[in-house]
Chains A and B, each alone.
Chain A
Amino acid sequence: MTGEDLAARQAELVAALVAGGPLPAGFAPAPVEAARRALLRKRAGDVARHWPLLAAGLGDAWPATFAGWAAGRPTNGSLRDGWDLARELRDQGTLPSLGAEELAVREAASRYDGRGAPRPRRLPAVARAGGAVAAQLAGRVRLLRPAPR
C-alpha cells in the first residue's frame, strides 16, 4: 500500500461510514455497519448539544429522527446539521413547538443560506417558524410569540 493508496482507502472508508458509499473491499460488513450506526448516535448527541430545544421537543423520537435525516448525509458541523434538520421538519409541518421557537430565535439572530456558516444579522429582523415569532434588534433576540402547543 502506498501513501496515495492509504489516502484513497481512508476516503472510501469515510464515504461508506457517513456518505452512503459502498463498503470497501475486504471489510467485514457487520462491524462496519455497527460503526456507521454508532457514528450516527454520537452525531445525534453532538447536534442535541447545539440544538437542545429541538432535541427535547422531539424527546424519545430524537435519535431516530436525527439518524433518519443524517444517514448518508455528511456533517456540515453540528450547528448547521441541526439548522438544516429543523428547517426540513418545519417544511414538513413536523417541527415540535420547542424546536420551532429555537429555530425562530436562531433565524432572527443569524443569516444562514444553507451553504456556508451562519452570520450574525446586522439589521433588525423578524423570523417565524411553525407559529413562533422572534425578533432581533441591535443583536438582542426576543421570542415575541411562542409556538402553539
Chain B
Amino acid sequence: MTTGPSGVGIGWRSEIAGFVAGLPGLRFVEVVAEAVAPAGPLPDGLAELRGRGVTVVPHGVKLSLGGAEPVDPARVAHLAGVATALDAPLVSEHIAFVRAGGLEAGHLLPLPRSREAVAAVVANVRRAQAELPVPLALEPIAALFDWPDDELDEADFLTEILDATGALLLLDVANVHANARNRGGDPAALLDRLPLDRIAYVHVAGGAEQGGFYHDTHTDPVPAEVLDLVRELCGRRRPPALLLERDGHYPPAAELRGELDALAAASGYPVVT
C-alpha cells in the first residue's frame, strides 16, 4: 500500500494528465472512482504516476451514502476494487445523497441535519466500511439551501457521523466558504469546532458568484477568501495534505501552476511545480 496523502496534490483528470505528469514534486493525486475500471488497465497517465510512487486516492461521487435506502453493494464493490487496483491508502466519498425515488439528481445534495439523517448516513457508511479494504474519509458538501427541519448545527452533525463511524474527515475548505456565504455562519468558527485531528486531507477549489449565490464550480479560479481559510485552518492544525480540484475550463498551465504554488504558500508545504 502507498503512503497516505501528503503535501500539495491535484485532482487527476484525463484532460490535464500531461500537466499533472509534468509536476516534479507531486506525491499525491485523487481520481474520480467512477472513472476507473478496476478490472481494466489504468488510464495511461495514472499508471505512470503509480509507477513513480505517487499516491492515488479514489474519490467516489455516486455512492449516495446519505440516501435513505441502503447503499448499492455493486457501487461499494466498485470503489473497493478501484482502491485495490490503485494500491490506495484510503478512499473518500461525500456526506450527501445523489438519487432518490428512482431519479438521479446529477450532483451531491444535502441532508437534513437531523438524528434520522445521521442514522441513515451512519448505517450506510458502516455497510461501505465492511466491504472496503482501506479507511474511508467523508467529505461534507457545499449546498445552496437548507432543509426546513435541521435539529443539529453543521459541526455537531458532522462530528456525530464521524464519531459513530470512525471515518476520517475530508474537509473541503471551498465548501466551508460556500456554505458560510450562502447559508450563513462564520467559517472560522466552524473550523474551531470540527475535529481537525481527523482530517485525512483537504480539498481546495474555485468558484464564482452568480445570481446572488457563490457557486462551488471547480471551473473558476480559487478566490482569495478560500486561500485565507486555508491559512486559518493551517494556523489551527495543518492537515497532512491539500488537494486542488479543477473539473473543467482548464486554464493555461502557468495559471494552474500558480494555483498550486498559492496552495503551497498558504499551507507552508513545498511547491510541487
Contact = CB atoms under 8 A, between A and B. Distances in A.
Interface of A: 1-15, 17-19, 25-28, 30-32, 34-35, 37-39, 42-43, 45-46, 74-75
Nearest to B249: A45
Interface string B83-101: 0000000000000010111
A52 to B, nearest CB: 11
Nearest to A31: B145
A107 B116 CA distance: 47
B44 interface: no
A19 B105 CA distance: 9
Interface string B144-155: 111111000000
Given A5-B116, A26-B148, A18 B103 contact: yes
Nearest to A45: B248
Interface residues of B, number: 35
Interface of B: 67-69, 97, 99-107, 109, 112, 114, 116-117, 119-120, 143-149, 182-183, 211-213, 215, 219, 248
A27 B145 contact: yes
A17 B42 CA distance: 35
Contacts of B213: 31, 34
Given A25-B148, A45-B248, A18 B100 contact: no
A75 B105 CA distance: 8
Nearest to A4: B68
Contact of B144 (A9, A10, A38): A38
Contacts of B116: 1-3, 5-6
A26 B144 contact: no
Contacts of A17: 105, 109
B103 A31 contact: no
Interface secondary structure of A, over-half rule: helix
18 contacts: A6-B120, A7-B68, A7-B100, A8-B101, A10-B68, A11-B100, A11-B101, A13-B109, A15-B101, A17-B109, A18-B103, A28-B145, A31-B144, A31-B146, A32-B144, A32-B145, A35-B144, A43-B106
A26 B149 contact: yes
A14 B145 contact: no
Contacts of A11: 100-103
A7 B213 CA distance: 28
Given A1-B114, A31-B213, A35-B143, A14 B148 contact: no
A1 B116 CA distance: 7
Rank and list the top 4 A-B pairs by shortest CB-CB distance, nearest first.
A11-B101, A26-B148, A31-B145, A7-B68
A45 B248 CA distance: 8
A14 B109 contact: yes
Given A13-B100, A45-B248, A27 B147 contact: yes
Contacts of B215: 38
